[in-house]
């Protein structure tokens, strides 16, 4: 049995999340919204933004701070330098049911130092001190040490991203990533939602895994990281 969802929210997933289930985490001004800097570097802009979008984004971003606009391929103005631009692939798991895993431990904020250490060793993508507030995270331990994890990140209405999928190099080849992706997916499906995920286009190993698990490639996308202007245009205004 598959679960249907309006996949159009994935055309602009960060904006949909920050104006939906993640509204409590959002910093918003006009045409722009973003997560707090210690939660995620991700920002989103309105689907049909006006010319004010860059000044709106500047008002919720510290001068000189980096900000990521996943899926947004509009060239920024010169005073927003592009630090990184990577092609990626977006996958949706409408037919992925997941599977609970008895060994998967629900990670709490007390585990954040261990999670940050694992991320430093494996580089799965942005994971910061308060990223854990975005959703549920599961981990597997060996002799008490956290060696693999995966969790929930961007959360548009009805659909939740699986992210931070990583395994310590010494424990790869044991299927831990597969088990955790399925366990996280099971939690998403238990809420009546659909899992989705992203990977960079050259991560062929991850792409093979996600296709084998039943995810389908929905679209090619872009991960763009920018640096905010060194000065903020005009006086600061209140943001929600």
Output helix, strand, coil percentages for the chain, rounded to the nearest 5: 30, 30, 45
pLDDT at 1: 47
pLDDT at 232: 58
Fold designation for 7-87+223-227: Aminopeptidase (3.40.630)
Q: Encoding tokens for residue 7?
A: 């996949």
pLDDT at 145: 97
Structural contact between residues 52 and 31, judged by C-beta atoms closer than 8 angstroms: yes
What stretch(es) of the chain map to CATH 3.40.630.30? 7-87+223-227, 91-221
Fold designation for 91-221: Aminopeptidase (3.40.630)
Locus of tokens 């903020």: 232
pLDDT along the chain (240 residues), means of 10: 74 96 97 97 88 92 95 88 96 96 98 98 94 98 97 97 97 96 98 96 93 96 94 51
pLDDT at 163: 96
- Taking only Cα atoms into account, the Rg of the chain, rounded to an integer number of angstroms, comes to 18
Element (H, E) at 56: helix 53-59
Element (H, E) at 189: helix 176-190
Q: Which residues contact 87 (CB under 8 A, 6 or more apart)?
A: 200, 201, 202, 220, 221, 222, 223
Q: Is 112 helix (H, G, I), strand (E, B) or coil?
A: helix
pLDDT at 4: 64
Q: Encoding tokens for residue 20?
A: 């939906």
- Cα–Cα distance, 87 to 12 (Å, whole number): 16
pLDDT at 65: 96
How far lies 96's CA from each of 138, 196, 210, in Å?
18, 10, 10
């Amino acid at each position: 049995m598959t679960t249907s969802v309006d996949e159009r929210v994935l055309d602009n997933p960060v904006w949909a999340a920050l104006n939906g289930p993640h509204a409590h985490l959002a910093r918003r001004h006009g045409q722009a919204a973003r997560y707090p800097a210690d939660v995620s570097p991700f920002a989103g802009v309105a689907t049909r933004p006006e010319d004010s979008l860059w000044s709106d984004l500047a008002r919720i971003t510290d001068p000189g701070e980096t900000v990521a606009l996943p899926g947004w391929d509009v060239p920024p103005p010169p005073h927003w330098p592009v630090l990184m631009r990577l092609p990626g692939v977006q996958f949706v798991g409408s037919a992925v049911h997941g599977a609970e895993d008895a060994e998967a431990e629900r990670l709490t904020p007390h585990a954040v130092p261990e999670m940050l250490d694992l991320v430093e060793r494996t580089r799965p993508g942005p994971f910061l001190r308060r990223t854990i507030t975005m959703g549920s995270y599961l981990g597997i331990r060996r002799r008490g040490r956290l060696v693999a994890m995966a969790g929930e990140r961007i959360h548009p209405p009805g659909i939740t991203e699986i992210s931070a999928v990583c395994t310590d190099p010494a424990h790869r080849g044991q299927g831990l990533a597969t088990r955790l992706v399925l366990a996280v997916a099971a939690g998403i499906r238990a809420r009546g939602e659909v899992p989705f995920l992203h990977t960079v286009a050259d991560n062929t190993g991850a792409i093979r895994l996600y296709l084998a698990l039943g995810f389908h490639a929905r679209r090619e996308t872009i991960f763009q990281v920018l640096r905010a202007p060194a000065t903020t245009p005009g006086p600061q205004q209140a943001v929600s």
